[in-house]
Chains A and B, each alone.
Chain A
Amino acid sequence: MSGISLRTKRILKNRAFLALCLFSTSATILILALLLMSIMVQGSHFLFSSEALSAVFGHGELSQVTKIIRWEFLSNFASRFPEKAGIYAAVIGSLWVCVICALLALPLGIGTAIYLEEFAPKNRWTALIDFNIRNLAGVPSIVYGILGLTAFTRMFGLFGSDKNSALSFGPDNAWWHIQLPFGQGLLAGGLTLMLVVLPIVIISSREALRAVPSSLRQASLAIGATPWQTASKITLPAAIPSILTGAILAMSRAMGEAAPLLVLGIPVFIANTPDNLNDNFTVLPFQIFNWAGRPQESFHQLAASAIVVLLVVLVCFNGVAVYLRQKLRKPLA
């Protein structure tokens, strides 16, 4: 008798655990859904035109809606008055700084990955660099902000202050006008974000390179290709889809970072878009942080609307990543 009850007990335990598993997994997904819904609800007020909103939630006629999106939110600058506020400067600033970050972080990160996977001898120094990179990935982004503040914004005070720059290159109205130190300009922002995402780019690119079968490397070396010829003509082309996917995920991270830029002291309110590499800028996450931190409810709604825009941009990024992966991925062996 006791044998049967023991068996029943074990089966029940097994069932109960499966239920717990299902509960916790669905809880995770529910949290995600709740997060997205709450933001969508709060954000709708400034994202959609009043006629569209009233048609959906109230008494308006859906067929009479001529304008769905409230484009002013995207095309206006930030403002003290919620009804007039928009995220134009923040969106443009985010895109700019992300492009600069990508141009800096991708060559450096992929270069490091190629060196470590294809060239580096397996010795203590290589192990040290590897260990260092893994731990850099765990350094809080705000600490990178401090490095960026000292090294890029102030340049260790070597070139005077940012208001009274000692060195500048290029005419004031050229987009490539640069002065030292970088101050709170785009270049300082891009460089600082580069510090944050560099370890991520390196680690994901290395994994991509490692996934290329070593038989391809051997084949290439065996017909007399040098290590660089092998890396550039065989390994890298084979790894590119995964490298790009990792790069886009890293750029999504850069797009969502506010803490390191906050340390640089970028402005919240700005009434123009950047003209050159040294110009001040602000970014979407920082704008959201600012609005969410205010007491008035309409600013919270503004923050939610800006979050929706940010998430849409990130979804687009990831969509491109998935598309590239599907499009470029070929079997390797």
Chain B
Amino acid sequence: MPDTQPNLAKPATAPTAPTAAATAPTEQITIRVQDFNAWYGAYHALHNITLNIPSQRVTSLIGPSGCGKSTFLRWINRMNDLVPNARADGVMQLDQDDVLDRAFDVVELRRRVGMVFQKPNPFPKSIYENIAFGPRLHKRFHHSDLDALVEQSLRAAAIWDEVKDRLHNSALGLSGGQQQRLCIARAIAVGPEVLLMDEPCSALDPRSTASVEALIRELRQTFTIVVVTHNMQQAARVSDLTAFFFEGKLVEAGPTDGMFTNPKNKQTEDYVTGRFG
């Protein structure tokens, strides 16, 4: 586990939350969320979430399905804009910028906050084009720079050695695990600060899962990573911090070790010990 204690997240509903914040005053916060509420039409999906997501750490969001963890994730890069009737209020800041501000450029937001989905979804294009698509949208590149960017992104996703000889073949010819790593490379190629991953391994076999998990551990040196997972072992393996959501509320958040060995909250304990969920 990290030697500096990560910053603490403060659930609104848990006054007895751990107070590790004091031990690491220098920890940088990338995403600051305070009294955040989200709705789908009349359905109140998230209640008063307060959570700080620290830089260059892996934060995992766990909880039973329907608890609001994916909704929360999809508000960080405003993918919920696509859902009619979805709205939110409260504070959600990415490095001081107000994510929820309608005037905030959502294109720039999504460049800074990359996303990896549950099912690998490469474009029906070549491997090279899959990676180069994002950078070209945002900037003009010299050919050589773009080639280098594609290579470094693929290396970062630990897939370069497998695909370097067939960069111009269709990405759909790759295996599921390779496709998912390609999608991670695609997200990296636009130079984001944050990577959001929505159950990134749930469609993969155990071996691919292991390689993606190893990758997540590695990438936290460069990015702030938020992973939604329903798999507690996975949360324990990959994350530095864990936040437990239940019925639209943030029940408990803190260092992953503490959450699993010594949960403060009864509900958390029941969930992590497998009594429900």
- A233 touching B79 in the complex, CB below 8 Å, given contacts A216-B121, A222-B115, A333-B121: no
* Bound Cα distance from A19 to B172, whole angstroms: 45
CB closest chain-A residue, reference B172: A331
A225 interface contact, C-beta 8 A: yes
* Bound Cα distance from A219 to B115, whole angstroms: 8
Are B137 and A215 touching (Cβ within 8 A)? no
Are A330 and B111 touching (Cβ within 8 A)? no
* Bound Cα distance from A233 to B132, whole angstroms: 12
Which single member of B108, B111, B121 contacts A218 (CB below 8 Å)? B121
| A→B interface (CB under 8 Å) | 121-122, 213, 215-216, 218-226, 229, 233-234, 237-238, 330-333
* Bound Cα distance from A222 to B117, whole angstroms: 10
Distance to closest chain B CB from A238 (angstroms): 6
Task: List chain B residues, Cβ under 8 A from A229.
Answer: 137
| Total number of B residues with any Cβ neighbor in A under 8 Å | 27
- A224 touching B107 in the complex, CB below 8 Å, given contacts A122-B84, A330-B170, A331-B172: yes
* Bound Cα distance from A258 to B218, whole angstroms: 69
B186 interface contact, C-beta 8 A: yes
* Bound Cα distance from A215 to B179, whole angstroms: 14
- For the A-B complex, the count of residue pairs with Cβ-Cβ distances under 8 Å equals 70
B271 interface contact, C-beta 8 A: no
* Bound Cα distance from A122 to B137, whole angstroms: 27
Distance to closest chain A CB from B148 (angstroms): 19
Interface of B is mostly: helix
Are B190 and A333 touching (Cβ within 8 A)? no
* Bound Cα distance from A216 to B124, whole angstroms: 9
Distance to closest chain B CB from A275 (angstroms): 45
Which single member of B107, B109, B117 contacts A219 (CB below 8 Å)? B117
Task: List chain B residues, Cβ under 8 A from A121.
Answer: 84
Are B134 and A223 touching (Cβ within 8 A)? yes
A-B contact list, 18 entries, CB within 8 Å: A215-B117, A215-B119, A215-B121, A216-B121, A219-B117, A219-B122, A219-B183, A221-B82, A222-B77, A222-B79, A223-B115, A223-B134, A223-B186, A224-B137, A225-B133, A234-B123, A333-B124, A333-B172
CB closest chain-A residue, reference B77: A222
Task: List chain B residues, Cβ under 8 A from A333.
Answer: 121, 124, 172
Taking CB atoms and an 8 Å cut-off, the chain B residues in 110-155 that contact chain A are 110-111, 114-115, 117, 119, 121-124, 133-134, 137-138
B187 interface contact, C-beta 8 A: yes
Taking CB atoms and an 8 Å cut-off, the chain B residues in 152-189 that contact chain A are 170, 172, 183, 186-187
Task: List chain A residues, Cβ under 8 A from B133.
Answer: 220, 223, 225, 233
* Bound Cα distance from A237 to B133, whole angstroms: 14
Which single member of A222, A238, A331 contacts B110 (CB below 8 Å)? A222
Are A224 and B110 touching (Cβ within 8 A)? yes
Distance to closest chain A CB from B140 (angstroms): 15
Are A219 and B123 touching (Cβ within 8 A)? yes
* Bound Cα distance from A53 to B74, whole angstroms: 73
Known: A213-B121, A218-B117, A224-B190. 16 other contacts (CB 8 A): A122-B84, A215-B119, A218-B79, A218-B82, A219-B117, A221-B79, A222-B110, A223-B110, A223-B186, A224-B108, A224-B109, A224-B137, A331-B172, A332-B124, A332-B172, A333-B124
